[in-house]
Structure 1
Amino acid sequence: NKDRFRLYGYYTNNIKDDATNIAKGIFYKFVEDVYSFDELCRIIKDDGLHVLIYPEIGMDPLTLKLASLRLAPIQCVSWGHPETSGLETIDYFLSSELMEPDDGERNYTEKLIRLRNLSVYFYPLDNIKIDLRKESMGFKSDEILYLCSQSLFKYLPQYDCVFVRIAQEVKNCKFLFISSSKGSFLTNRFRKRLSTAFEKGGLIADDYVVFLPFLDELNFKKFNKISDVFLDSIGWSGCNTTLEAIECNLPVVTMPGKFMRGRHSYAILKFMGVDDTIAESLEDYIKIAVELGKDREFRDNISKKIELNKDKIYFDIGCVKSLEDFLLKVVKDKRVT
């Protein structure tokens, strides 16, 4: 509500794109092209903010430096990087009521704020019309394609056996991973790890595992379209990748973890009311993934359920209202004290 809130934005990168241009139109004041740390701090302080919100802390060194200072009376971080900041200068962690476990408070140095539903106002992705077959992308028509499109560092070695177990049951299948954008070293290390796991299971990894090149938006969409199942990474769940899979009505297999970072896909599926593919254990995860691979009717039913319910996650004004209510309350409380 721009009648009640005045938004200031501080852009710390030097890469400009369409999102940068959109942001300029949203904020009352948009600061960019300031590369002096001291100057940026002075600008933020002089703006006299009531509340300063960091979308994430931990992924960008400059953001971490800024967050280590008290630049506003009330300072918050959200879950762009889904971990506590550990900083005394950050007062609140803005999270999602659906993503947090019951004891989520114990995982943060900040005070945990559970915003409504997913806590983020999502809207449908650009609806690029794609009509293609598996054969056009180099696969056989009867192969079951499991899309594993998270960053490779999210796949933990203790869960490598999951892919082996699924392959042993489904047999005629492929697991599609995306090569690291940081170079070949990480991809090769991960490839070697999977080779060892498949060998222990009496299988050859190259018969089942495919490493795609790092994909642009169009090609990423294509592989979502031709895949049969999306396998969420265990322990550190997907969010944007899960939303893109859901946009293509792709069944999502997930197992919620003990921390919020492992519960994004779980929350999205819960919000839609599509909980058939939420696993309660590792064995359950494998069982669901195998059933989706072997049972076409089950797979189609889940896809139809997603198609009918995915609109629930879009344009959720409730989470925006809960953020507004939180901001008004903390500013009022700060003034009282």
Structure 2
Amino acid sequence: IASAFLHSQTVGRLYRGIIENLDKDKFEIVIFRASVKRDEMADAIDAAAAKVVALDLGSLNAARKQIAAEEPDVLFYPDIGMTTLTFFLAFARLAPVQCVSWGHGVTTGIPNLDYFISSRYLEPPGAEDHYSENLVRLDGFPMYSLAPGLPRNLPGRAHYGLPEGVALYLCPHTLFKFHPDFDRTLGALLERDADGRLVLITDGFGGAWENKLMERFRAAFGAAAERVIFLPRQVESDFHGLLALADAIIDVPHFTGGYTSQEAFAFGAPIVSWPGEFMRGRVTCAFYRKIGIEDLICGNEKEFIETAYRLAHDKPWRDDLSARIREKSAVLFEDPGVVREMEDFFAWALEKAEEGFFPLN
């Protein structure tokens, strides 16, 4: 298993449970670490492996040799596309079976990656055409996340410096996910709710994305841009409190929330979803379909805006949705079935590779 993000980051949170729960009588797990980041989660992940190899971060050739020396049967990349080392490693044939999953939810275009592991909930009909890899649709989601605990004492608006008496539309996603197409939608939402505030989280990189977005917002919706509030990055407990505090959480349509949406659902925090064409824009929608609640899945911009407005202002409706989501969200966490599915897939793919058979999409 090769990644630079097997620590307290989304990839680590998604895959720690899979690594810990894979049958060790059937699988010898070797972690190939492509970063030096260490924390408690990294230690827990390493403890579940038979061996940990710290890859040479300064030499692609040396890192390839380190992996090849272990003679893996299956080389699994939880993510590809967020760091150059794992991206270029994947061009080499280092194992009979090489596969990637949705830690970064786009196809790689790399010829030596055989499979992309996804879920039937995530993919629309015809999605095999979206991938250079052979698409694998699991019955569950390729993750094993632990449910977060809601803080006992939820902070109020004053804790975050947020105004009272107005609707708060929280869009808590990484700022580089905000496609320019979405600017018009956000502006129309603030026009629909003349007192509403759009709450975002700063990028943590010196404000570069914040400044870029504000330039776009001023151009797209004029004076209403003054009702955009940027909060600093939050510690985990305060972030969870913010999810619970918002009047409406809105998703980004081109590259939706993933683990953030999971966290929100654990607290019963409703999210307005507008699914896109590709898997990366369908994750929140997929979670809703898994739990059997589709009230907040929207099909167009007008529906998205009106649903967000109603969610912020119709408290009985919101409370009902919140209770239903909280009650049903447990199926999104700690699913042993998906671990067995991944075990079966790895064994099947290796058997087929040994037979010289690689199925088409």
**What TM-score comes out, normalization by structure 1 length?**
0.94
SS at match of 2:104: coil
Give the equivalent residue in structure 2 for 1:30: 52
Do residues 7 (structure 1) and 29 (structure 2) align? yes
Do residues 334 (structure 1) and 353 (structure 2) align? yes
Distance 2:162 2:64 in 1: 53
Do residues 292 (structure 1) and 311 (structure 2) align? yes
What is the one-letter code of the residue matched to 2:190?
A: A
Give the equivalent residue in structure 1 for 2:193: 170
Give the equivalent residue in structure 1 for 2:235: 216
After superposition, residues 249-328 of structure 1 pair within 5 angstroms as 249-328=268-347
Distance 1:181 1:214 in 2: 7
The Cα offsets for residues 177-198 of structure 1, whole Å up to 9 and x where unpaired, read as 1112222232111012112222
Give the equivalent residue in structure 1 for 2:128: 105
What is the one-letter code of the residue matched to 1:30?
A: V
Counterpart contact for 2:147–2:263, Cα < 8 Å: no
Give the equivalent residue in structure 2 for 1:184: 207
Distance 1:59 1:84 in 2: 12
SS at match of 1:114: strand
SS at match of 2:87: helix
Do residues 65 (structure 1) and 88 (structure 2) align? yes
Distance 1:290 1:326 in 2: 43
SS at match of 1:204: helix
Give the equivalent residue in structure 2 for 1:21: 43
The Cα offsets for residues 118-155 of structure 1, whole Å up to 9 and x where unpaired, read as 22122202443232222333234322111111111211
Give the equivalent residue in structure 1 for 2:144: 121
Counterpart contact for 2:31–2:49, Cα < 8 Å: yes
Distance 1:124 1:153 in 2: 26
**What TM-score comes out, normalization by structure 2 length?**
0.88
Distance 1:295 1:222 in 2: 21
SS at match of 1:321: helix
Distance 1:324 1:30 in 2: 20
Distance 2:154 2:242 in 1: 11
The Cα offsets for residues 274-307 of structure 1, whole Å up to 9 and x where unpaired, read as 2110111121111111111221111111111111
Counterpart contact for 1:57–1:85, Cα < 8 Å: yes
Aligned-residue RMSD, C-alpha: 1.6
Distance 1:188 1:40 in 2: 38
Give the equivalent residue in structure 1 for 2:9: none
The Cα offsets for residues 61-115 of structure 1, whole Å up to 9 and x where unpaired, read as 0101211111111110111111111111111111111101111100111111111
Distance 2:332 2:175 in 1: 27
After superposition, residues 137-152 of structure 1 pair within 5 angstroms as 137-152=160-175
Structure 2 CA distance for partners of 1:130 and 1:33, relative to 1, 3 Å: farther
Give the equivalent residue in structure 1 for 2:225: 205
Counterpart contact for 2:157–2:245, Cα < 8 Å: yes
Distance 1:196 1:218 in 2: 35
Q: Which 5+ residue runs of structure 2 have no aligned equivalent?
A: 1-22, 357-361
Give the equivalent residue in structure 2 for 1:247: 266
Q: Which 5+ residue runs of structure 1 have no aligned equivalent?
A: none
Distance 2:228 2:170 in 1: 11
Counterpart contact for 2:187–2:224, Cα < 8 Å: no
Distance 2:132 2:296 in 1: 33
What is the one-letter code of the residue matched to 2:121?
A: L
Distance 1:128 1:220 in 2: 10
What is the one-letter code of the residue matched to 2:236?
A: E
Distance 2:224 2:296 in 1: 28
Give the equivalent residue in structure 1 for 2:116: 93
Distance 2:157 2:144 in 1: 33
The Cα offsets for residues 232-273 of structure 1, whole Å up to 9 and x where unpaired, read as 001111101111222222110011111001001011111111
SS at match of 2:52: strand
Alignment counterpart, residue 228 of structure 1, candidates 247, 254, 270: 247
Distance 1:193 1:38 in 2: 42
